[in-house]
Structure 1
Amino acid sequence: MPSRREIMLGGAAIALAGSAPGAIAQVVATARQGQRAISVLSDGSFEMPLSMLARDVALDAIVSGTGRTGPVTSVLNVTCFRQGDQVVVFDCGSGAHFLPGTGKLAASLEAAGIAPDSVTHVLFTHLHPDHFWGALDDFDTPLFPNARWLASRREIAFWSDPAIYQRLPEDRHAFAAGAQRIIKALGDTLEQHDPGSDWLPGVAAFDTAGHTPGHVSFELKDADGPVFVLGDALTHPVASFAHPEWRPASDFDADRAVATRRAVLERAAAEQAQVIGYHLDGGIGRVERAGTAYRFAPAR
């Protein structure tokens, strides 16, 4: 996740207004997995410089898959499933205090017919602003008043550490301050869990650290085949697949993030899993091998 400063680098006037593609409230995609009805909901989008896709790679002559080398539009996809009396949300958008063009989740929930007070569980992949700051509404009260909130124990410890400001560049200090404010507001309702176990029946968390130290992804288990909710384990619908070795500027531990991407791509391709990435256009798709690398095939 880029900081405000990073978004402005490399070009003086990147447009961040709601006219960006995907910025409107909408249901991006739907699917069924057994008894689960899955919806991918938009929290909007923002634009960032192409240079954010990789450190130490000359990208000026590389087309990002959109036919241009200018700013990259990054969509924000919040996953929700309904099964029986459970309504489960994975991550909860940016809220009102991050970037223009984001913070559309509440309207997208309304478009999908999902009342905030019907949400029973919120599971976090990690605590970056575009995934976590939407936990509180405009009145600083929980957006989902009846929900249980679940996050990685290691992720909570990382952002809660008073020494975190020494571990982050100055333009990321707002990330920590925002995370700490929301962690405090949620209090004891924010449950701490570890990867490698079922956080809910049929929903297993697995370790995908690298983008952040406690990043997790989720496997929705069913006889119809797995669905992986990947958060930011994969962050771009072309670069993350064709060049998993690239080191995006937003990854905290670049080497570990590369290893995680390779492992996730190989597992998803081998298991023919459906994948949902927070920043992948189209919302739901599959990972296909393409020579020595991979490609994202959005569901049609």
Structure 2
Amino acid sequence: MLDRRCMLAAGAALLLPTGRFPASAQVVARIGADDAGVTVLSDGGFEMPAAMLARDIDIAQVRDAAKVGGPLTTVLNVTCLKRGQDTIVFDCGSGANFLPGTGKLAASLEAAGIAPDSVTHVLFTHLHPDHLWGALDDFDTPLFPNARWLAGAEEVGYWTNPKVYEGLPEDRHAFAAGAQRVLKELGDRLETRTPGQDWAPGVTAFSTAGHTPGHVSFAFNDAQGPVFVLGDALTHPVISFAHPDWRPASDHDPDRAVATRRALLERAVAEKARIIGYHLPGAIGRVEKQGAAYRFVQPA
């Protein structure tokens, strides 16, 4: 088994945290009733270089657009949907072995009054560490013992392919090793699905590939209309909207990710959907057209 300290060191080499980070467990946002709505929970956060927001763009321009003078603080938002007898969690945080400042999901679940054994489904947008590694608790057993675990067949196939390391830069090898370890522990509990299917009652997956090869987002409806849970399809509250053609360093396939962002933004505008972003501060908002680009608008 690959030592976890090695995985942490390799992941940190990519993200270069500075040591300042949001650390409090919390409920980030809610929509609908507590027993029939959405609760967004914090898994903490970390800082990374602003240069990660865009490849091949002058850093001064990136910082000006993002309104940051130094490193960028990114948050981790885990969405929980209660619907009838089902409690559905979208992604499950980074666990205790990713980066300092992360791994707050268990405390946030407790703060929200959501018992892990009440969760019926866990749906993964993709299998990066901050979305997957929290699947296991401190004893390497599934955090949600009674849940069905579902991930995209293409995403699982990519990370479990023995040749995955050949297509990854060395500083991301830990991402693959960690994914393989967690998926092995989940074992037969993990089910694979494809976009276009209902992965849970009333929750449909749709392809938003580019950030990773099999990245998916999820759509469902409530009394106010459509809601999209986007994972990392849109990752910054300004850059992803005002500059969708910029290419974040974290995207596996930058060109495909650009096409995905543009199509997703147009769909969100056309359907007047509320969106929930894993790394968007405040998590929930809407997309509005702004000239040839877009903007992220949050409730007052």
TM-score bucket (shorter structure): over 0.9
Report if the CA contact (8 A) 1:196-1:205 is conserved.
yes
Go from structure 1 to structure 2 and tell me whether the alpha carbon gap of 1:61 and 1:262 turns closer, same or farther (over 3 Å shift).
closer
Name the residue aligned to 1:5: 13
Please state which structure has a larger fraction of its residues in helix.
2
For residues 1-300 of structure 1, the aligned pairs below 5 Å read 3-8=11-16, 14-17=17-20, 20-21=21-22, 23-32=23-32, 36-63=36-63, 67-222=67-222, 224-300=224-300
How far, CA to CA, are the matches of 2:110 and 2:33 in structure 1? 22
Letter in 2 for 1:263: A
Letter in 2 for 1:112: A
How far, CA to CA, are the matches of 1:230 and 1:122 in structure 2? 15
Aligned length: 291
Q: Deviations over 1:78-108 (max 9, x none)?
A: 0001122211100000000000000000000
- Alignment TM-score, normalising by the size of structure 1: 0.93
Deviation at 1:34, TM superposition (A): 11
Go from structure 1 to structure 2 and tell me whether the alpha carbon gap of 1:33 and 1:219 turns closer, same or farther (over 3 Å shift).
farther
Report if the CA contact (8 A) 2:42-2:104 is conserved.
yes
Q: Deviations over 1:52-78 (max 9, x none)?
A: 000000022444566432111010000
Go from structure 1 to structure 2 and tell me whether the alpha carbon gap of 1:142 and 1:34 turns closer, same or farther (over 3 Å shift).
closer
Letter in 2 for 1:215: H
Aligned with 1:257: secondary structure? helix
What root-mean-square deviation, in Å, do the aligned CA atoms of Structure 1 and Structure 2 show? 1.6
Letter in 1 for 2:168: L
Go from structure 1 to structure 2 and tell me whether the alpha carbon gap of 1:64 and 1:32 turns closer, same or farther (over 3 Å shift).
farther
Letter in 2 for 1:4: A
Aligned with 1:231: secondary structure? coil
How far, CA to CA, are the matches of 2:183 and 2:242 in structure 1? 36
- Alignment TM-score, normalising by the size of structure 2: 0.93
How far, CA to CA, are the matches of 1:156 and 1:32 in structure 2? 33
How far, CA to CA, are the matches of 1:223 and 1:292 in structure 2? 31
Letter in 1 for 2:137: D
Report if the CA contact (8 A) 1:82-1:88 is conserved.
yes
How far, CA to CA, are the matches of 2:271 and 2:33 in structure 1? 15
Q: Deviations over 1:256-277 (max 9, x none)?
A: 0000000010100111100000
How far, CA to CA, are the matches of 1:27 and 1:65 in structure 2? 28
Report if the CA contact (8 A) 1:61-1:69 is conserved.
no
Deviation at 1:198, TM superposition (A): 1.1
Deviation at 1:280, TM superposition (A): 0.3
Aligned with 2:230: secondary structure? strand
Query: Which stretches in structure 2 are left out of the alignment for 5+ residues?
Result: 1-9
Go from structure 1 to structure 2 and tell me whether the alpha carbon gap of 1:196 and 1:142 turns closer, same or farther (over 3 Å shift).
same
Go from structure 1 to structure 2 and tell me whether the alpha carbon gap of 1:33 and 1:258 turns closer, same or farther (over 3 Å shift).
farther
Letter in 1 for 2:12: R
Name the residue aligned to 2:4: none
How far, CA to CA, are the matches of 2:259 and 2:36 in structure 1? 31
Report if the CA contact (8 A) 2:54-2:62 is conserved.
no
Report if the CA contact (8 A) 2:241-2:294 is conserved.
yes
Report if the CA contact (8 A) 1:88-1:123 is conserved.
yes
Structure 1: which 4+ aligned runs deviate by more than 6 Å?
none
How far, CA to CA, are the matches of 1:200 and 1:64 in structure 2? 41
Report if the CA contact (8 A) 1:221-1:227 is conserved.
yes
Query: Which stretches in structure 1 are left out of the alignment for 5+ residues?
Result: 9-13
How far, CA to CA, are the matches of 1:44 and 1:31 in structure 2? 20
Deviation at 1:199, TM superposition (A): 1.2
Report if the CA contact (8 A) 1:62-1:69 is conserved.
no
Deviation at 1:223, TM superposition (A): 5.2
Letter in 2 for 1:15: T
